[in-house]
Amino acid sequence: MTIIKRGLAALAAGALSTALAVPAFAEPVKFDFWFGLSGDLARVVDTLCKNFNASQKDYEVVCTSQGNYDATLQNTIAAFRAGKQPAVVQVYDVGTATMMLSGAYKPADKLMEENGYKIDYADYFPGIARYYATSKGEMLSFPFNSSTALMYWNKDAFAKIGKTEAPKTWEDVGADLQAMKDAGYECPMAINISANESWQLMEQFSAIHNQPIATKNNGYDGLDARLEVNKTKFVQYVTDLKKWYDAGLIKIKSKDLGQDMVQAFASGTCQVIMTSVGDHGTVGKTQKEGMKWDVAELPAYAGTERKNSLVGGASLWVLSGKSDAEYKGAAAFLNFIHDPKTALFWSTNTGYIPVTKSGFDYMKSTGFYDKAPYKGREVAIASLTASEPTEITRGIRLGNFTQIRAEFGTQMQAIFANKVSVQQGLDTLVKNGDAILDRFQQTYPGKTLP
């Protein structure tokens, strides 16, 4: 053997012994997270995922937007049937009943316990926790992006009619809208009556007034629940909205008509809207220069003992059929999201509210709510905690509720187009909605909600 060959052999042997002596670094366990947000919100979720991956070396979450909530749920169902479901999925509030009955999940509280995480579930705001919990209070999913509806009001417009506060009752709303109309404002208030606005108009109103949307405590007590919004205070509310619309005090604003409610308010075109606290950041970024505005809790009719408003948004479900290693990663991810510092990042960049008391307290300690652009978002917490949740205000547990919302939009448009009376439209909503509920009940014969 030549000197060169002997030298190469020695180098090779040395390299081999060194490789054997140094342990190989294990690749992080990858697991999938599917979510239904898009645009700027999707970019924030991507950053959140990157932050988690950078915080430790054992796990790597792969986050993929499905475009919207409906697509996320449908794609997840299809993926589950094909055995290709993600480990974690974001499911919107009205998909909760479907998820509960599917049996295709690993309960969040058990997942965390099995992986050594101690979560104080009493730390979640009751109005949020009870929406996603079983009737016994067991947390099946983790609250994630949460919001509630608020009234946005133009302080400049109200100053012109001698008011320095937002109206607290619907009787005051009517008087203030008329005063603004008399003062020359073309659009005192904007609303939308599409399917998605069921959340603001029907669901939030009913909760604040402690009025049922359906029997069986809004479906919590059985799949045989049926709608009853045609015989509650909601009838009076729709009647008043229609009356104000006919008088020119309310304008309908939507993307289909060229300008949605948020754009109409931010531009100063319309002086009052009702929308999610999640739109607070958008208004702040796009408002007309110099415009003074604020938010307030949604009004209630005079004499009402006000109750908590409903939480909107979505929660995170961990799906069954995954490996123990993926479940460990999912538990670590949920624990990361539960951290108060993550709540600060999330609320700062999205407008969604913290879901835990500790997260809210941490944000207050940083001065988050003390000045613009975040001042006012704490009103959402006040609205959600206005009372201890009742059997009605803890949430809505109705199957195929997206279809019921679509029916809501159809009948509201018929009412405002003078095709039917308020009572006729709401009677049809109940009739057609009950048929939807009946089909859902037949899909799960003999099953009960947990």
What pLDDT is stored for residue 446 in this prediction? 87
Q: Structure tokens of 179?
A: 């005063």
What pLDDT is stored for residue 25 in this prediction? 59
The whole-angstrom separation of Cα 435 and Cα 441 is 10
What pLDDT is stored for residue 449 in this prediction? 86
pLDDT in tens, 264-312: 999 999 999 999 998 998 999 999 999 999 999 999 999 999 999 999 9
What pLDDT is stored for residue 6 in this prediction? 46
Q: Which residues of 274-304 are buried (b: 16+ CB within 10 A; e: fewer)?
A: bbbbbbbbbbbeebeeeeebbbbbbbbbeee
Mean pLDDT (the chain) is: 92
pLDDT in tens, 103-112: 899 999 999 9
| Pair type for strands 272-276 and 293-296 | unpaired
Compute how many other C-beta atoms are within 10 angstroms of the C-beta atom of residue 190.
25
What pLDDT is stored for residue 255 in this prediction? 86
Is the pTM higher than 0.85? The answer reads yes
What pLDDT is stored for residue 419 in this prediction? 98
Partners of 191 in the beta sheet?
Answer: 252
What pLDDT is stored for residue 246 in this prediction? 98
Residues of the chain with pLDDT under 70: 1-25
The whole-angstrom separation of Cα 166 and Cα 420 is 32
Query: What single-letter amino acid sits at 290?
Result: G
In a 3-state reduction of DSSP, which class is residue 151?
Answer: strand
Burial class (CB in 10 A: 0-12, 13-18, 19+), 143: buried
Query: What single-letter amino acid sits at 279?
Result: D
**Ramachandran area for residue 84 (φ above 0: left; ψ -120 to 50: alpha; else beta):** alpha
